[in-house]
Amino acid sequence: MTNFKFSQAFEAAIEAKVTANQRTEQAERELARLKFEAEQ
């Protein structure tokens, strides 16, 4: 197996995508919680 490293820009793009996905999931959970509380 060849040892290779992605460019820093590529790694940063992957990290940004992961972070964006996590923020989206967090926002969706918050929205669901707020909807639930509004129905109470």
Can you spell out the DSSP letters for 1-40?
-------HHHHHHHHHHHHHHHHHHHHHHHHHHHHHHHH-
**pLDDT reading at 25 higher than 70:** yes
Going by pLDDT thresholds of 50, 70 and 90, the confidence category of residue 1 is low
| CA dist list (Å): 28 to 11, 33, 35 | 26, 9, 11
Greater pLDDT, 17 or 1: 17
Going by pLDDT thresholds of 50, 70 and 90, the confidence category of residue 31 is very high
